[in-house]
Amino acid sequence: MIVRSKPGLREILFALHGTILVQILGRLSIIAVVCVCAVLAALTWPGLFAQIRGIPFALIGISLSIFMSFRNGACYDRWWEARKLWGALVIACRSFARQSGTLDEADRAVLLRYLCGFTAGLAARLRGNDEPAVIRAHCGEGSWTTSPNPTDAVLQQAGRHCLELAASRKITSIHHSLLEGQLVALSQVQAGCERIVTTPIPFTYSLVLHRTTYIFCLLLPFALAGMLGWWTLLPVLLASYTFFGLDALADQLEDPFGLEPNDLPIDAITRTVERELLALLGEADLPPPLEPQRYILT
């Protein structure tokens, strides 16, 4: 996630790092080359593009912008839902830690380390990393090392431990139901995140917008070259920057758990949960909080 202060005029005009321009610079370069070729052809053979008018492109551009706004809205909804799910995860972990405050230190330490393992495992699962390895760092060896869903296996183990505490009368049935409620909330968070990961925006919908954007930006120079000459570069590159930028931004927001600049800071949220839970266990040597690197917080 990009973390920057409100940009001033200098940043608006010249900022590159953390902006979408870096991702679309290659495409803009291709459009610039096409513009130069179109202008040279118009200057060499006057009237070559006389029958190509700009009005159809204006209508197509308006339609394209409307459809692109729909896609960007859908992708932002996925991003925002993912952020709310991880916010719910933080709330559930804090609530579970508070509700387990009456347990003896050994049992509480086991449960809170399960939560650390669950959070780290979920982050690894969503990003395609090694789930068992990050879970093992908090919880040691267990059934999760061979489970097809290691993160859920950790949560199940935490639930079994709570049942054992209730069976041995270390906690009451009401206390157990409160703890189980937070585990259910964590399970819902995992299911929601997996739903986002396994249900992308329909491929055909994205493909139509990609193709239309490329065709529009590649043909626009030929409609303007005869009228504007070398000034064709300005409106064409501005329109291409807008369309390609929105297209690239939607691609990043579609997968909110990735490592692109505009994706969610999953590692930072995981580290926050880890620090808070370990601090409750009395550990003084806590891992440092993650800070933005060149304005990007992962």
Backbone angles phi, psi at 263, to 5 degrees: -80, 170
How many domains does the structure of the chain reveal?
Answer: 1
Cβ atoms 241, 273 nearer than 8 A: no
**pLDDT grade, residue 224 (50/70/90)?**
confident
Cβ atoms 291, 297 nearer than 8 A: yes
In terms of residue numbers, what domain contains 98? 85-200+264-284
**pLDDT grade, residue 67 (50/70/90)?**
confident
Identify which of 239, 289, 255 has the alpha carbon closest to the alpha carbon of residue 128.
255
**Domain assignment of residue 61, yes or no:** no
pLDDT in tens, 141-186: 887 778 899 999 999 999 999 999 888 888 888 998 999 999 999 9
**Domain assignment of residue 144, yes or no:** yes
**Domain assignment of residue 52, yes or no:** no
**pLDDT grade, residue 37 (50/70/90)?**
confident
- Please give the average per-residue pLDDT across 47-71, as a whole number: 74
**Domain assignment of residue 238, yes or no:** no
- Residue 199 burial (CB < 10 Å; 0-12/13-18/19+)? exposed
Identify which of 275, 124, 114 has the alpha carbon closest to the alpha carbon of residue 183.
114
Distance of CA 269 to the CA centre of its chain: 13
**Domain assignment of residue 112, yes or no:** yes
pLDDT of 126 above 90: yes
**Domain assignment of residue 248, yes or no:** no
pLDDT in tens, 244-266: 888 888 888 888 998 888 888 99
Identify which of 257, 289, 253 has the alpha carbon closest to the alpha carbon of residue 122.
257
Mean pLDDT of the chain: 84
**Domain assignment of residue 187, yes or no:** yes
Match 């202008």 to its residue by tokens. Answer: 39
pLDDT value for 259: 85
- Please give the average per-residue pLDDT across 231-256, as a whole number: 87
* pTM of the full structure: 0.86
**pLDDT grade, residue 294 (50/70/90)?**
low
pLDDT value for 270: 92
pLDDT value for 201: 83
Give the other-Cβ count within 10 Å of 210's Cβ: 12
**pLDDT grade, residue 6 (50/70/90)?**
low
**Listed range (49-58, 106-115, 163-172, 178-187) with the worst mean pLDDT:** 49-58
pLDDT in tens, 176-221: 899 999 999 999 999 999 999 998 888 887 788 888 888 888 888 8
**Domain assignment of residue 219, yes or no:** no
**Three-class SS of 156-175:** HHHHHHHHHHHHCCCCCHHH
Match 């070259």 to its residue by tokens. Answer: 225
Round to whole Å and give the CA distance between 139 and 3.
Answer: 32
Match 């090694």 to its residue by tokens. Answer: 130
